[in-house]
Amino acid sequence: MLHLNAFRIVIAACALLSGLVLNGLTAWWLLRLANLHAPPLFREYRTWLIGAAVIIVALTAAGGGYLTYLGLRDPRRLPDTLSMIVAAFMLLLPFAVTFAGRRIAGIGGIIPVDEPAGQEKSPSHRQGAPLSRRT
> What is the value of pTM for the model shown?
0.70
How far is the first Cα of the chain from the last one, in angstroms, to the nearest whole number? 78
pLDDT digits (tens, 9 = 90+) for 12-68: 999 999 999 999 999 998 899 889 888 899 999 999 999 999 999 999 999 999 988
- Contact of 83 with 72, CB cutoff 8 Å: yes
